[in-house]
Structure 1
C-alpha cells in the first residue's frame, strides 16, 4: 500500500536525524515533550487525515462550493470532517494553550500538517485560517480584543480571513479605496469591496472575523496611510456573544482551475451603511501588522507546494510499481516475456528520481525554517536569535516561490508517469496539479517574491545575513567532503555556492546601475537558481548523514533508505545542478532584450 500523501520514514529522518528536533525538548518551553509524544501526535494526525479528511478531498473538487441566494455552502461531507478537526483540537497545534492551542514546537506541527493539509487542504484551511487572524490580534490587539476573539479563532469555532485585494488595486495594495470613518463610540464605519478572499464566507462556523485593510478618512494616500480593522461577519458583543449581522455581504465566488472546495469570495463591506470595525494597533500600522500574517501565509504556501508534490510522488511511485507495460530493455526478447512494472523503464526512473530529490530537498527546507522559528522563539543567545531572525526572513520568498513552482512540476511529472490515465479523473494526480497551481499566485506572485528577495532580503544588515547563510551551506559541504564517497559531490556543490555568491554580487551591482530593470527581469530566474543551490545543500546534508549511518544500518529497509538519500543527492548534483549553472550563465550574459523590446514588437 502506498504511503499516500507523505513518506513517514522520510519525515522521521528530517526530524530526528537531520535537524535533531529532540534538542528542543531540553529547552524550558518544550520540557514536557519527548519523542514518544511527538510520534504519537504525528501518527494520530496521519490516521485522522487518511480516515476522515482524505475521503472528502474529491468532493471538494467534484462538488465544490456553491453560491445560492447569497449563501456560500461547502460540500456536505466537509461538515463532519471539519467538526472532527475542531473536536480533535488540530487547528492550532503550535499556539499557546492559554488561547486553546497545543503548545507544540512549530517543527512538529509542520510534520502533523503534512498529513492534515495533504489530505484535504481546503477543508483543513477552514479550520486553520483563523489562526492567522488570531496571531495578529495576539501580537497587536488590546486585552479586550484578545479576550473577545483569540480562543474562538484558534479553536476554529470562528473562521478567519485576510482582506487586502481590490479589483482596481491588485498587488498594488496602497491603491486600495476601502475607507474607514470614525464613529463616536470608537468603532469605524467600513465601506469598500474586496475580491479573491479565501474562506471569505462559508457555512462551517457561526462567525467569520475579517482583518480589513482600509484608509481612515483624511489619512495620506499609499500604503503608509493604511490601517487594519477587525470586522466580524456578526458583531461580537462585550460579553463575547454574537450580535447583529455586520453588513459583510458575499457577492459571489470564483470558478477556479482547481481548489474548488475552497471558497474564494468577493465581499461587499457596508453596502447598506451598517458595517463596523475596530482598529487593530494604531492608525497607519495596517501594512506592518498585515505583513506578520502575510509572511506566515507565504511560508504555509510554500509548504502546500511541498505537500502536493509529496502526494503526487507517492501516488506515482505506487502506480509505477503496479502498472505493467512493455519489456525489460536490458533483456533479449523471446516473445514469451511478461510485461514489467514501468518503474523498470529508464525514463520513468529518471522522472521518479527527479521527483524524489526535489520532494526530499523541499521537505528539509520547510522543516529547517520551522525549526529556525522554534529556535528564534526559545534561544537566549543574541547572536543566534539574530541569525534565525535573518535566515527566516531571507528564505521566506525562496521557500514560497520555489516550493510552489517545483511542487507543481512534481505533479506534472506524476501525470506523465501515469500516461493517459494521469490526465483522467480516475486517478488523483490531475487534481493535485490543478489544486497546487494557485500556490505560485496567491500571497504574492513569483515576481513579487523575487523582487522582495533581490530588493530587500539580500541587502539585510548590509549583506551579512546572506553571508552567514552562505557560511552555513559551506559548513555542510566541508562535512560531506570528509566522507570519501561524497567528496566529488561536495566539490561540485562548493563550486556552485561560489558561483551563487558571484551571481548575487552581479545582481546587486546591476540593480545599482543604469540597467536596474535588467536585474528585476532576472529576479525570478535568480530566485529559482538560489532555490536549486539550497536543494543541493539540503540533499548533500542528507547524504552526509546517510553515509555516516550506512555502515551501522543493519536492517534492509534502513540500508535502502540511506542509499536512497545518497542517490537523490547524486542525481540532483550531477543532473540538475549543471542546468542551474547554465541558468546562472544566462542571467549574467542574457542581455537586455526583455527591457528593450517595444510593446508593438511583441506582436499580436
Structure 2
C-alpha cells in the first residue's frame, strides 16, 4: 500500500474495464491515444501527486500562505511545483496542440485530477482557476486578447482568477455593485471590491489575470445587466511585456479552518481611479460567459470531494491494517490483532470503499459523456448525452463533497485519539474538506438546481429515461449468484425514487413553490444513493465475469478452492471486493434510502410553517 491517495487499480478498472473509455480512441479526435499510453499517463500522474503534491500539502497546512507588507506569499515550493505541473502538460491536458495542449479526453483528466485533488487541493486552485480563466478568453476573447493572454496563461507564466463575490453578493450574484465605466478608447474603468477570491494575489507567477463580473453604468439590475472583464494585475505593453501596475490591490487574506496554503483574498480595484478592464465578449453577457464553464467547474469540485474520500479511506485502511489493539472475536487467545479484525472497523471501511468506488464510476461517467458528445455524429445521441450531463452535474458536485467531510470524520474515528492530533494528516483532511460543499454553489443550491430544473427537463423525460436505462445492467446483475435479494432491493428503491418528481409537483401545487425547495436536498441525497448503487452493480457484473475467467483458467470449481485463491491472489481479491462493495451498499445503504424517500413522500412542511421566533 505504497500509494495512500487513490486505489490505482480501481481507477483503471472504472475507466477501461467498466466504462471502456478507450473506445474514444477509435474517433478521429482521440486517435493518437490508446489504452496503454493513457494508463501510463495516469501512473505518472499518480507519482507526481504522491511524490510532489502530497508532501507540499502537509507542509503547506503548517506554514500557510502569508500576507505581509501588502503582498501575498505562497508556501515555499509552490512555484516550483506549479512549473513542473505545467511542464508535464497537465495544465493544458485537454487543449489542442496549437495551444500547448495534449488533446486528452476529459475523462482521463478527471481521473488524473482525482489523484491531484487527493494529494493537494490548495495547489490545484492555482491550476483550475488559471485554466478556467484562460479557457474563457480562448472561447470568448478577441484575437488581440487571445494573442496577449493565452500563451502566457496556458504556458504557466501568468495565473488566472475568478473575481465574482462581493460582501452583498455571494450566491446571489445579481446584487453585484462593482461598477464599470466606458472609456473613449474602448476600455473600461473599474471600481469596486471583491471578497473570497481564491489566489487573488500570490508570488507563484509574475502576473495575475482576473475575470471580473461588473455592471456597466446605466445597465439594468440583476444578473442580466452584468458584464465580464479581463483585468490584469499588471497592464500589458504592445510588445507583450508587462507594463505598469493596474490599480489592483490585495487588502488582506482570510484566516480559514482549512486549505491554508491557498490564499483567499479580499481585492480592491480602482482605489486610485486608474484600474483598466477589457470587456470579454459582449456587454451584458457576463453571466452567460461565466456559466459556460459551470458544468466543468462543478465536476472538478466533485472530483475534489472524491479525492478527499479516497485519501481519507486509504489512510484509514493502512492504519487499520497496522494498528494492533484488542483481541480477535473469532480467536480471543490469539493476542492483539490489527484493528481491521474488529467488526465495526470492517463495517466502516467497507462502507467507505463502496461509496468511493460507486462515486468514482459516476464522476468518470459524467466526464466520459462530455467526451462522447464531442465525437458522436448523431444529433439525437448528442442531445441525450447533454441531458445526462446536465442531470448529473448537480449530483456530481454536491454528493461527493458532502461525503468528503463525512469520510474524513470516519477516518479520524478509525484512528481513534491519534486521528484528532496533528501527528497524522486525517484531521487536516476534515478541515480542508468542508469548503468543497460551498465552492461553485452550495449543496443546497445544487439540490435546488436538480429538483426544480434538471428533473423537469423535457417534462421529466430525461430523468425518467436515465432511470429506465439502468434496467439493462440490472438485468445482467440479476443473473449473478447471491444477488437476488440485492436486485429486489435496488428495484424497490429505484421505483420509489421514480415517483418523487410527480410528488414534488403535486406538493408544490398544493402547498406552494416552497415545497420543492424544502425537499430538494433530501431528494439529491436519495438520487445519489440510487446512482451509486447502479454503478456498483455495473462494476460487480464486470468483476464477476473476470473473476469467473480466473477460476476457469485455474480450474477452480468448488467454493473452498475459490475462496483460498481469492485470499492469495491480489487481482482475484480486488474483483471479489467489487462484488462485496455492491452487496454491502445495496444491503446496508439502500434500505436507509427507502426511509429518505418515504420521508420525502410523507410531506412534512413544519420547517416552512414555523415562525422565526420558534427557531
TM-score (norm 2): 0.95
Does the CA contact (< 8 Å) of 1:82 and 1:124 recur in 2?
A: no
Q: In structure 1, how many angstroms separate the alpha carbons of the residues matched to 2:366 and 2:156?
A: 25
Q: In structure 2, how many angstroms separate the alpha carbons of the residues matched to 1:21 and 1:102?
A: 17
List gaps (5 residues or longer) in structure 2.
Answer: 552-564
Does the CA contact (< 8 Å) of 2:208 and 2:232 recur in 1?
A: yes
* Pairs within 5 Å for 1:217-232: 217-232=217-232
Q: In structure 1, how many angstroms separate the alpha carbons of the residues matched to 2:215 and 2:366?
A: 34
Displacement of 1:466? 1.2
Are residues 1:349 and 2:346 paired?
A: yes
Does the CA contact (< 8 Å) of 2:473 and 2:538 recur in 1?
A: yes
Q: In structure 2, how many angstroms separate the alpha carbons of the residues matched to 1:90 and 1:278?
A: 28
Are residues 1:530 and 2:530 paired?
A: no
Are residues 1:582 and 2:582 paired?
A: no
Does the CA contact (< 8 Å) of 2:113 and 2:303 recur in 1?
A: no
Q: In structure 2, how many angstroms separate the alpha carbons of the residues matched to 1:303 and 1:176?
A: 29
Q: Which of 389, 407, 410 is matched with 1:410 structurally?
A: 407
Are residues 1:432 and 2:429 paired?
A: yes
Does the CA contact (< 8 Å) of 1:182 and 1:188 recur in 2?
A: yes
Are residues 1:561 and 2:574 paired?
A: yes
Does the CA contact (< 8 Å) of 2:196 and 2:266 recur in 1?
A: yes
Single out whichever of 113-122 and 258-267 deviates more from structure 2.
113-122
> Residues 12-69 of structure 1, C-alpha deviation per residue, up to 9 Å, x if partnerless?
1001111101101100011111122112211111112222222111121110000011
Q: In structure 1, how many angstroms separate the alpha carbons of the residues matched to 2:373 and 2:131?
A: 20
* Pairs within 5 Å for 1:258-297: 258-297=258-297
Q: In structure 2, how many angstroms separate the alpha carbons of the residues matched to 1:155 and 1:422?
A: 40
> Residues 205-252 of structure 1, C-alpha deviation per residue, up to 9 Å, x if partnerless?
111111111011100001110111111111123432221111111111
Aligned residue in 2 for 1:317 = 317
Aligned residue in 1 for 2:74 = 74
Q: In structure 1, how many angstroms separate the alpha carbons of the residues matched to 2:236 and 2:391?
A: 38
Displacement of 1:590? 4.5
Aligned residue in 2 for 1:3 = 3
Single out whichever of 120-129 and 562-571 deviates more from structure 2.
120-129
Are residues 1:361 and 2:367 paired?
A: no
Q: In structure 1, how many angstroms separate the alpha carbons of the residues matched to 2:509 and 2:226?
A: 30
Does the CA contact (< 8 Å) of 2:550 and 2:572 recur in 1?
A: yes
Q: In structure 1, how many angstroms separate the alpha carbons of the residues matched to 2:237 and 2:521?
A: 47
Calculate the aligned-residue CA RMSD, in Å: 1.4
> Residues 541-598 of structure 1, C-alpha deviation per residue, up to 9 Å, x if partnerless?
1111112221112582221111101111111101011111101111111411000111
Displacement of 1:122? 1.2
Are residues 1:397 and 2:423 paired?
A: no
Are residues 1:601 and 2:601 paired?
A: no
Displacement of 1:156? 2.3
Does the CA contact (< 8 Å) of 1:253 and 1:265 recur in 2?
A: yes
Are residues 1:547 and 2:540 paired?
A: no
> Residues 372-427 of structure 1, C-alpha deviation per residue, up to 9 Å, x if partnerless?
11101111111111011111111111111101001211111011000001111111
Are residues 1:471 and 2:468 paired?
A: yes
Are residues 1:98 and 2:111 paired?
A: no
Displacement of 1:491? 2.4
> Residues 177-218 of structure 1, C-alpha deviation per residue, up to 9 Å, x if partnerless?
001101111011111111001111110011111111101110
Does the CA contact (< 8 Å) of 2:117 and 2:308 recur in 1?
A: no
Q: In structure 2, how many angstroms separate the alpha carbons of the residues matched to 1:481 and 1:570?
A: 12
> Residues 260-289 of structure 1, C-alpha deviation per residue, up to 9 Å, x if partnerless?
011111101111111111111111111111
Q: Secondary structure at the match of 1:5?
A: coil
Displacement of 1:166? 0.5
Does the CA contact (< 8 Å) of 1:136 and 1:289 recur in 2?
A: yes
Q: In structure 1, how many angstroms separate the alpha carbons of the residues matched to 2:237 and 2:293?
A: 25
Q: In structure 1, how many angstroms separate the alpha carbons of the residues matched to 2:157 and 2:527?
A: 41
Q: In structure 2, how many angstroms separate the alpha carbons of the residues matched to 1:12 and 1:208?
A: 36
Are residues 1:591 and 2:604 paired?
A: yes
Q: In structure 1, how many angstroms separate the alpha carbons of the residues matched to 2:11 and 2:179?
A: 47
> Residues 517-546 of structure 1, C-alpha deviation per residue, up to 9 Å, x if partnerless?
122111111111111111111111111111
List gaps (5 residues or longer) in structure 1.
Answer: none
Does the CA contact (< 8 Å) of 1:59 and 1:77 recur in 2?
A: no
Alignment: residue pair count: 599
Aligned residue in 2 for 1:233 = 233
Q: Secondary structure at the match of 1:314?
A: helix
Q: In structure 2, how many angstroms separate the alpha carbons of the residues matched to 1:49 and 1:579?
A: 36
Q: In structure 1, how many angstroms separate the alpha carbons of the residues matched to 2:58 and 2:51?
A: 14
Does the CA contact (< 8 Å) of 2:159 and 2:205 recur in 1?
A: yes
Q: In structure 2, how many angstroms separate the alpha carbons of the residues matched to 1:461 and 1:155?
A: 42
Q: Secondary structure at the match of 2:239?
A: coil
> Residues 431-483 of structure 1, C-alpha deviation per residue, up to 9 Å, x if partnerless?
11111111001111111111111121111122222122112222221221233
TM-score (norm 1): 0.97
* Pairs within 5 Å for 1:459-538: 459-538=456-535
Q: Secondary structure at the match of 2:499?
A: helix
Q: In structure 1, how many angstroms separate the alpha carbons of the residues matched to 2:115 and 2:604?
A: 45
Does the CA contact (< 8 Å) of 1:316 and 1:418 recur in 2?
A: yes
> Residues 292-347 of structure 1, C-alpha deviation per residue, up to 9 Å, x if partnerless?
2233221111110000110110010011000000000122x44xx42000000000
> Residues 64-112 of structure 1, C-alpha deviation per residue, up to 9 Å, x if partnerless?
0000111001111223222221222221211222112211111111222
Displacement of 1:10? 0.2
Q: Secondary structure at the match of 2:337?
A: coil
Q: In structure 2, how many angstroms separate the alpha carbons of the residues matched to 1:330 and 1:402?
A: 37
Q: After TM superposition, where is structure 1 displaced by more than 6 Å over at least 4 residues in a row?
A: none
Does the CA contact (< 8 Å) of 1:86 and 1:157 recur in 2?
A: no
Q: In structure 1, how many angstroms separate the alpha carbons of the residues matched to 2:510 and 2:173?
A: 28
Does the CA contact (< 8 Å) of 2:60 and 2:261 recur in 1?
A: yes
Change (3 A) 1:143 1:281: same
Does the CA contact (< 8 Å) of 1:163 and 1:210 recur in 2?
A: yes
Aligned residue in 2 for 1:340 = 337
> Residues 338-384 of structure 1, C-alpha deviation per residue, up to 9 Å, x if partnerless?
20000000000010011001111111111001101110111111111
Are residues 1:167 and 2:167 paired?
A: yes
Q: Secondary structure at the match of 2:162?
A: coil
Q: In structure 1, how many angstroms separate the alpha carbons of the residues matched to 2:343 and 2:151?
A: 54
Q: In structure 1, how many angstroms separate the alpha carbons of the residues matched to 2:251 and 2:3?
A: 41
